[in-house]
Amino acid sequence: LVNAGESLQLQLGADLSGEFTASFLKEQRFALELITMHWGTEPMNGSEHTVGGVGYAGEVHFIHRNLQYANVELALKEPNGVLTLAVLLNESHDDNPTLAPIVDGITQIVYKGSECAVQRVDLRQLLPPAGSKFTSPFYGTKDYLS
């Protein structure tokens, strides 16, 4: 976990990088390389993006490298080199045990450039269970990108 100044970065080891594919990507394959996080001091001013003009408490970017390129630096120079999945965050007073290793790490990297190792986080635990759907009709056939 690294304090990059304007965001926190979670660099993934090669054994943790999952692949991302989808029909709209025209058979391109992407590997998760980096997760960046940022947030604000108020519940609606921490996100980089808005929906309908409304901001969110924070934003997480899951940065994937196109496997056609050897590394992120090369991929960033190409129009199809990087795929970023952004997740907007709402503030909550409830603790999320899945995120505890990251939250604990944040307290150790107060200054820009500081870094610390964090325990492995199973990001799949942040997704709804396979087959769940939030609106009716409730079919058990829905799945989530992971």
pLDDT tens by residue, 81-131: 998 889 999 888 888 888 888 889 999 999 999 999 988 887 777 766 665
Instruction: For domain 2-126, give its CATH number from 3.40.50.720, 3.40.50.150, 3.40.50.300, 3.10.200.10.
Output: 3.10.200.10
Mean pLDDT of 51-62: 92
Count of CB atoms situated within 10 Å of the CB of 30: 26
For residue 2, pLDDT beyond 80: yes
Please give the average per-residue pLDDT across 9-24, as a whole number: 72
Domain ranges for the chain, please list them: 2-126
> Quick check: pTM over 0.85?
no
pLDDT at residue 29 greater than cutoff 60: yes
Q: How many beta carbons lie within 10 A of that of residue 66, not counting itself?
A: 20
